[in-house]
Every structure is written in structure tokens, then in C-alpha cells.
Amino acid sequence: MLRLIIVDDEKIIRESIRSLIDWESLGIEVVGVCKNGLEAYDAILDSYPDIVLTDIKMPGLSGLELIEKLNDTRENIQFIILSGYSEFEYAKQAMRFGIRHYLLKPCNENQIIEAIEDVKKACYLKQQADQEPEQNVRFEKSVFRNILTDGLTNAAEPALLCDNYQCYLDFTHTAYDLHYVYFLMENNLQECCGQLQDFMEEILPGTMYHLVYVKNTLLIIIKQPGGKAGAFSDFLDSLHFPGQEVSLSLEKESFDSLINLLERILPRLSRFDRLLFLDGDNRIPVYNYSGCLTSVRLLLQDYYSVQISYSQLKEEIMNLLHTVEDKDFLNLLITNIIFQRGHFDSDVSAVADAEFFQSIGAARSTEEALLAFQENFGRLLPPKSQSVTYKPFIEKLLTYTKEHLSESSLSLKWLANHYLFMNVDYVSKQFYKQTGEKFSAWLNRQRIEKAKELLLNCDTEKIYTVAEAVGCGNNPQYFSQLFKKYTGMSPTEYIRKLG
């Protein structure tokens, strides 16, 4: 679902917009309702919406100033402006920021819905254009394969899978379609996958999808392709293969989240002894090796409950891996060990893991794969630390932010996606859990504390230099308002107070 924040200084207007429209039926989640631009700016940094519906004239920080300030960040947000008749010329100024929609007050429900439907298309197009590079696509496929394997071989509940893998994938906000192609003979599987790959590259480039084959049935799990859903269904209808003894039969189910999809398919897939994960020309078989996977889980459980030492853990795991002769299963088991670690110790680095998965996938033999894992064992399964205050990725986030306070474009969404390479929902929850405050509040506090230090050696004529140094230089007025909000006085008053 797309995320929306509503901003208006008139309570009756903002509450009416939230309550009178069935947002869920539009595929929209309202993640914030704000009474002014300052409040909205913090909410946007914390909630990373796709769409902001904002009044244009508000005290403190106007809608236009809010848009201008957010244009300096790397948030890809679609704006819809609300404007009074007397402010029509003012609203036109927003057009230079690429705003295409403004609604004149009073506006009705249908006008708002029409504007929302239009910006939804822009959001989906932007998401498609921003699909991740090939390395991250392959990483996501590896993660998804391990999610299904974990769910099948360990009978893990979807809620537990969500806990273990939420730092890698979005389980709650991304919608999926599940297509069944029944009666597809295995000797036609390669041709079918080839046609599907050609279609995806031409019509839906960058759209993530996963293929699972079991008992003459191909399951296609695909992130909902928006306006191209009809084209995808038409493509499946056109499939035909010579020598196919029985005509293909199709079925489609839609899910508003990954966790709901898993709740549907895991019980069905668990009845089979063998599945095939399909990735290009690669067929990765999954057998019921539950004994091996259970042993891994118990070893990690014993280690993290201090029943065995680190050296024992390493010895037992390496002994177990040496018993596996099938290269595909060995690779799957190694990656599963790393993912199972997350159940006991969530101090993970998605970037480091992705790089290792790429190297393990390139191994030409079981010996090469084992050697790569043994050489990286200490990094992938590090000894427990007794003195860490924050999880490593939170520490990394804090350090980077403190070192780059002068950048006005800092946001949790950008840092999660482009610096940590982790799921922003997971980072947001963990940040609040460990620091006790939302990222925007913490960032504002850091900026104000840094500003107070700099103001010790500053005169009133150079306040703008302090604003620049703490990331507010593009809007000194906002800096003054923010400083007063946290200290109760303006920067000028603060300098005079220091004498």
C-alpha cells in the first residue's frame, strides 16, 4: 500500500479528509495527520510517505516552504496542494517544484480521490524506475528462497519468519499477486520460464518475481505490477507448448502483504517432498532435509544460551557441512545458517551478507563453497559481544548522521536504503526501540546541540553560518523556529544570554 500524510491547520478539514474517504479501498495507508508544516516535516522524515496532501498556507512553515525544504532531501514524494481561492496565485508558485495537483477549497471527496488516483500512477512509475540493481535483485531472490525453505523445513510460522527476515524484506506494506499455472509438464518448464523472462524484461523491467515448480504446477509470485497487471494475465493466457498433453489452467490470488501470502502458500507447499526454485536457467531443488536444518538451529540455540563454546559451534557446523554432497543444498544450507543467526542475534549487515551470497553462488564445487564459508566464518557468525550499547547498524547510522549534520537532505528512508541497505520499517522500529525516540526528534536534537556549541563562538550577524553547519542553511527561518522549539529562545536570544 502507498503511504499518505495529511497536513492542514484546520482540524475539521484534516480530520474530515481522513475519516470520510475509504483510504484502504484506494490502496492507501494514512500514516500521519499533522496540524502544521513543522510537525509535517518531522512526520515525513519518520514515516517516509509516498504522498503528502497539504494545505498551502499555514503558520510556522507553509505548505510551499515544506515542499521546498523536502525538495532538498532525497525523498521521492508526490504532493497534492489544498488552496483557498484567495491563494490561487500563491499555489501557482508550487508548479516550479513539479507539483501537478492543487485542489481549491472547499473541495469534495471525489475531487480528492481523482487527484489521489492520478498521483498513485506516478508513484508506481517511480517505484518501477527505482528498482534495485542486479546484485540486490539476486540478493532478494536468495532471501525469498530461504524464507520459503525455512517455512517448509522448519514448519516456521509466517509471524516468526517476519521476525527473522524483516530487516531484508518488507512483510507488511508490499502487495503481491500469486499466479498458478496448472498441468505444466516439466519438459516444457524451461521454455515457459524463457518466455516469461523475455516478457518481464520487455514489459515489466525491474519488477521482482519468484518461480516455484511443484507437481506439474508453476507458482509465479510477483510484486503487484500496477497498471500492467492486465498485460501480465494476458501473457499467461497466451502460453501454449507443443506436446503439452493437458491444456494449461490458470488461477490468480492477490495479497496485500507478503506475510498474508506466506500464510496461504506454506501449508500447501509443505505437503510435497521436492520443490524447484527457478532462477533464469538455474533449477535449485529443495528436499526435505529438515534434519540438517534442525541441527543448525539447535547448535545456534545452544551457543546463544551458553551451552556450547564458540569453538564448539564452529567445529560442529563445519562437520555438518562436510556431510553434504549436493552443491545446491550446501549453498542453501550455508545461507540458511546465516539467516537463522538473525533469530538469535539481529546484529546483521545486509551489505556484507549480500556480498557473501554472491561469492558462494559463484562457487564451482562444494569444496569451493566450504572454503569460502570457512574463511568468512568469523565475520558471518562473530563471537557474542558483551559490551555493545547499540546494534552495529544503529551505531553506524548514528555515527554517519553526526558526521554529516550539515547535510539538509538527511532522512531515515535515504539512510536505510542507500547507506545501510536495509528495510526502512525495520530500521525505524529498531532505532526507536534502542534510542527511545524517533529519528526526526533525535536528528533535531543533535542539530540543536551542535548549534548550541557553535553559537558559543558566534555573533548575531553570523547565525546563518551556524544554520548551514547543522543542515538548516537553506532555510534560516526554519532553523530559528526549530531552535526556539527545543530551547525556548531564538538563536539571537541564546547568544545574548551567553553574554
**3-state secondary structure labels for all residues of 244-294:** CCCCCEEEEEEECCHHHHHHHHHHHHCCCCEEEEEECCEEEEEECCHHHHH
Residues 6+ apart with CB under 8 A from 255: 175, 176, 177, 178, 261, 264
Residues 6+ apart with CB under 8 A from 318: 370, 374, 377
79 closest CA partner among 96, 87, 89, 341? 96
Contact indicator for 455, 495 with CB cutoff of 8 Å: yes
| Predicted confidence pLDDT, tens digits, the chain (499 residues) | 889 999 999 999 999 999 999 998 888 999 999 999 999 999 999 988 999 999 988 888 888 888 888 876 656 789 998 887 566 666 667 677 778 788 888 888 999 999 998 888 888 767 655 555 555 677 788 888 888 887 876 666 788 888 878 777 888 888 999 999 999 998 999 999 999 999 998 998 878 899 999 989 999 999 988 788 889 999 999 999 988 888 999 999 999 999 999 999 988 887 775 688 898 778 887 765 666 777 788 888 888 877 788 888 889 999 888 877 778 888 888 888 888 887 776 555 564 576 577 678 788 888 999 998 988 888 788 776 544 467 889 989 999 999 999 998 899 999 998 899 888 999 999 998 888 789 999 999 999 988 888 887 777 678 888 999 999 877 788 889 999 988 888 988 888 776 6
User: What's the number of CA atoms in the CB half-sphere (13 Å) around residue 221?
Assistant: 25
Contact indicator for 73, 82 with CB cutoff of 8 Å: no
Residues 6+ apart with CB under 8 A from 407: 471
In whole angstroms, give the CA distance from residue 153 to residue 337: 13
What is the distance in angstroms between the CA of the first residue and the CA of the last residue of the chain? 53
Dihedral sign for Cα 492, 493, 494, 499, please. Answer: positive
Contact indicator for 286, 277 with CB cutoff of 8 Å: yes
In whole angstroms, give the CA distance from residue 38 to residue 42: 7
Give the C-alpha distances (Å, rounded to integers) separating 73 from 39, 44, 119, 384.
Answer: 17, 11, 20, 37
